């Protein structure tokens, strides 16, 4: 799996129709109109997301590895 930074993952979420609801500290909270799910992406400079966290976010958002 390609490791992404928090910023890059946010851009990918926005491309898949997730909307930025709010920012609390360094966490960007995304939501989608047709679901109750929320994704809180940590944006800590250029640090990459941990593999398990990124996989969890992809599962919630319905993304495949090939879309990275």
Return the pLDDT at 67: 87
Q: What is the mean pLDDT of residues 16-40?
A: 96
For residue 17, count CB atoms less than 10 angstroms from its CB and return exposed for 0-12, middle for 13-18, buried for 19 or more. Answer: exposed
Residue 1 domain flag: no
Return the pLDDT at 7: 97
Statement: residue 39 has pLDDT above 90: yes
Q: Given strand 19-24, what is the order of strands in its sheet?
A: 19-24, 27-31, 38-42
Instruction: Name the pTM for this structure.
Output: 0.92
Statement: residue 68 has pLDDT above 90: no
Residue 21 domain flag: yes
Q: pLDDT band for position 4 (50/70/90)?
A: very high
Domain extent for 60: 6-67
Q: How many domains does the chain have?
A: 1
The domain that holds 61 is classified in CATH as 3.30.920.30
pLDDT, the chain, mean: 95
């Amino acid at each position: 799996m390609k490791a992404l930074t928090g910023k890059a993952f946010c851009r990918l979420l926005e491309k898949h129709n997730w909307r930025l609801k709010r920012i609390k500290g360094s966490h960007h909270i995304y939501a989608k109109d047709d679901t109750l799910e929320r994704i809180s992406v940590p944006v800590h400079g250029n640090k990459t997301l941990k593999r398990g966290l990124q996989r969890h976010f992809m599962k919630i958002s319905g993304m495949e590895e090939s879309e990275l």
